[in-house]
Amino acid sequence: MNAVPSPDASPDAVPGIDHAPVERWIAANVPGVVPPLRFSLISGGHSNITYFVDDSAGFRAVVRRPPLGSHGGNAHDMGREFRVIDALNGSAVPVPKALALCTDEAVNGSPFYVMGCVPGQVVDNPGRVESFLPGAAARRRAGEQIVDVMAALHQVDIDAVGLGQSARREGFLDRQLKRLVSVWAQNKTRELPLMEELRTRLIELKPEQRYTGIVHSDYRMGNVMFDADGTLTGVLDWVLWTLGDPLSDLGFMLNNWYEPGDTTPQVWMEVPPTLAGGFLSRDEVLARYAERTGFDVSGIQYYRAFQHWKIAVIAEGVKRRYENAAMASNDVDFEHLSQRVVNMAELANDLLRDLG
Q: Where in the chain is the domain with CATH 3.90.1200.10?
A: 126-353
- Per-residue confidence (pLDDT) for residue 43, from 0 to 100: 72
What counts of helices (H) and strands (E) characterise the chain?
11, 9
- Per-residue confidence (pLDDT) for residue 211, from 0 to 100: 97
- Per-residue confidence (pLDDT) for residue 326, from 0 to 100: 58
Q: What's the CA gap between 5 and 221, in Å, rounded?
A: 22
Among the listed residues 301, 295, 308, the one whose alpha carbon sits nearest the alpha carbon of residue 154: 295
- Per-residue confidence (pLDDT) for residue 9, from 0 to 100: 37
The domain made up of 19-116 is a member of CATH 3.20.20.70? no
Superfamily of domain 126-353: Aminoglycoside phosphotransferase (APH), C-terminal lobe (3.90.1200.10)
Within 8 A by CB and 6+ apart from 261, the residues are none
- Per-residue confidence (pLDDT) for residue 337, from 0 to 100: 81
- Per-residue confidence (pLDDT) for residue 68, from 0 to 100: 81
- Per-residue confidence (pLDDT) for residue 328, from 0 to 100: 53
Q: Where are the alpha helices (DSSP H) in the chain?
A: 19-29, 78-88, 105-108, 126-132, 136-154, 172-187, 193-205, 247-256, 282-293, 300-323, 334-353
DSSP 328: S
The pTM (predicted TM-score) of the whole model is 0.91
Q: Where in the chain is the domain with CATH 3.30.200.20?
A: 19-116
- Per-residue confidence (pLDDT) for residue 308, from 0 to 100: 97
Quote the longest CA-to-CA distance of the chain: 63
Query: Are 63 and 51 spatial neighbours (Cβ–Cβ below 8 Å)?
Result: yes
Query: Are 267 and 342 spatial neighbours (Cβ–Cβ below 8 Å)?
Result: no
- Per-residue confidence (pLDDT) for residue 8, from 0 to 100: 41
Which of 145-173 are b and which e, b meaning 16 or more Cβ less than 10 Å from the residue's Cβ? bbbbbbbbbbbbebeebebeebbebeebb
- Per-residue confidence (pLDDT) for residue 356, from 0 to 100: 66
Q: Which residues of the chain have pLDDT under 50?
A: 1-11, 45, 72
